[in-house]
Amino acid sequence: MNQTYRNKFLLIDDAFLLEVHNLQRKTNQAVKHPEPVVKLDDPWHEKHDVFGNPNVLYDDQEQLFKMWYTTYIEVVEQYWEQGAKQCYAVSEDGIHWEKPILNMIEVNGSTENNYIFPPMRSLEYSIFLDPSDPPSRRYKMIFQVRSKETFWAEFHSPLCIAYSADGIHWDRPQHVNPVLRGVNDFAWGVMYDPDRRKYLLFTRRVPNLPRDISLYESFDLVNWQDMGRVLVPGDEHDPPELFNFQSMTPFLYEDFYLGVVGAHHSLPEAETYEVFNKPPQDYPSGDILGRVNVQLAYSRDGRTWSRPVDRAAIIPVGQPGSPDEGMVFVPVSSPIIRNGETWIYYRAFRTRHNWWDTREYIKKHDGDVRDAECGMLAIMPEDHWVSLDAGSEEGWFLSKPYAPPSQLLVNADAEGGSIEAEFLTPYGQPVEGFTRADCIGISANGKDQEIKWKGNTSPRDLNEKYRGGLCLKFYLKNAKLYSYSLIEPDPDGTIKRYWDSARWNEAILHRSNNWGRASNAPAGGLPQPTGTQNTSGTRFGPNPRADAKWS
């Protein structure tokens, strides 16, 4: 049993904040691995094969990374890729990958390859490990297939499901497929929400210009409910060229549902024209047209989504000459969280999202496209998604009240600067012995840095006198604060059990028609104000104000 419990507070939104002064909220970049982790360098790949759609999971049972990826045939005469072959690879460290000879599929007279499905016109999918099912169905796949006939019929292919015990041999339940009509033309992200015990599928709706993100929910992967659009690009914080999302892949991180979003920059006046016609050299935004980078989205409930105001890329397009100089496509499986870090495997392009650039590349390389795309890895350090930043002029923020902890730890970069803190009552009164003057702050870079005070007493000793909690006021100078944690004694695990159930408690509130078919629908009328529920998203209450006061 854990002897302490950590309440960690990320700074992605204002849920824990009352006031913020002279600080900026910044979105931070993941750290790219310097080299591709998967390339088409095997003898069974032909010059017209191009890499696509890395889908990576970590199998805890086997202590192994597993990757599924696609190769397409792409030649200069055709506009759309075809001849999809599905490949399988494994890795012990997530960096060095082995492509086992499976001897399952014959291509060009040989089975010496790592293919798991026969070549098709087109196959797109997202694979995930399903904790809700027995081992024989622990791997799940949401997929679509397209053929010459479906293209001729001009309909978007419906989504189907498949399941597997080992991720190599797959069964497709004929009696239920397809499970979702043609709601999209490509790219989706799926996750299992353990609190609502639902599968969440995020995809772009059709008609899909401009492209945005819609949510579909299901209890069984067969019957789906359309929850509508949840994230739409092209607001006052986006440049005119950003009005398309390629896709969004969701995952759970601490108190948040996070999404990695493919942000596609196009010609506002005529996207289709830009796809087929190269902009003039002196065109003002010509350098970003056709580029796709990865941005961040976040949600407290999986249904209401936002993006940081600064819209900075967490995985930007690479420098000229790099494998991802053209585009960065989000993974088709949820990023992997290991030891606090988030590993994001992505599809890297040397070309932009248009036909003229692809055609030029194919001609320049004599039809050999094996190096045009590859699988790359970017790692987001623990909690580094968003920070509150201060420059040479000091800034501060005030938190909502919470029970004083036994320790205060911060994840921050304060090299060349400082971070200090003090306790205040909700009336704004400094607490004796725990003022800024008493504080021993930090001035280093790293996680789990402890902020202390000069006295020998613990902040935890304040609980009896200051029932109802105390506010924390942080002072930053030349520093970035990613998160702070309150460490509480928890000898019997009571606190952990409480907060482990808090998000679930919110998920089961406000249901209507308890005995009827609509028992899982939210109640009508105005929703309960944010911040008044005992949830891991707010932890305080009542306080319906969602946004802090910024100055």
pLDDT at position 132: 81
Q: Which residues of the chain have pLDDT under 50?
A: 1, 510, 531, 533-542
Instruction: Find the CATH number of the domain harbouring 17.
Output: 2.60.120
Judge whether 508 lies within some domain: no
Per DSSP, the residues of 403-444 read ---SEEEEEEE-TTSEEEEEEE-TTSPBPTTSSGGGEE-B-S
Q: Are residues 136 and 242 in the same domain?
A: yes
Q: What is the pLDDT of residue 138?
A: 94
Q: What is the pLDDT of residue 105?
A: 95
Q: Same domain, yes or no, for 418 and 274?
A: no
Give pLDDT, residue 515.
55
Cis peptide leading into 207, omega within 30 of 0? yes
Is residue 18 domain-shared with residue 47, that is, in the same domain?
Answer: no
431 shares a domain with 341: no
The tens digit of pLDDT for each residue in 328-377 reads: 999 889 999 999 999 999 999 999 999 999 999 999 999 999 999 999 99
In the chain, the amino acid numbered 494 is T
The count of C-alpha atoms lying within 13 angstroms of the C-alpha of 411, restricted to the half-sphere facing its C-beta, is: 20
* Distance of alpha carbon 285 from alpha carbon 426, whole angstroms: 49
Same-domain pairing of 376 and 494: no
Which two tokens mark 193? 């929400």
| pLDDT of 540 | 46
Domain that holds residue 168: 31-383
Same domain, 328 and 404: no
Q: Are residues 425 and 397 in the same domain?
A: yes
Which pLDDT score, from 0 to 100, does residue 415 have?
Answer: 97
Q: Of the candidates 383, 412, 447, which is a domain's last residue? A: 383
Given 383, 411, 436, the domain boundary residue is: 383
Q: How many domains, in total, are found in the chain?
A: 2
Say which residue the tokens 């006061």 belong to.
Answer: 549
Q: Domain end: 359, 383, 407, which one?
A: 383
pLDDT digits over 99-135, tens only?
A: 999 999 999 999 999 999 999 888 899 999 998 889 9
In a domain, 288, yes or no: yes
The Cα–Cα gap between 259 and 215 comes to 12
Of 378, 323, 376, 379, nearest to 38 by C-alpha is 376
pLDDT of the residue at 395: 98
The answer to whether the beta carbons of residues 89 and 98 sit under 8 Å apart is: yes
Q: Are residues 427 and 342 in the same domain?
A: no
Is residue 229 assigned to a domain? yes
Question: The CATH number of the domain where 145 resides is what?
Answer: 2.115.10.20
Domain presence at residue 156? yes
* Short-list 325, 475, 467, CA closest to 395: 475
In angstroms, the CA 163 to CA 40 distance is 27
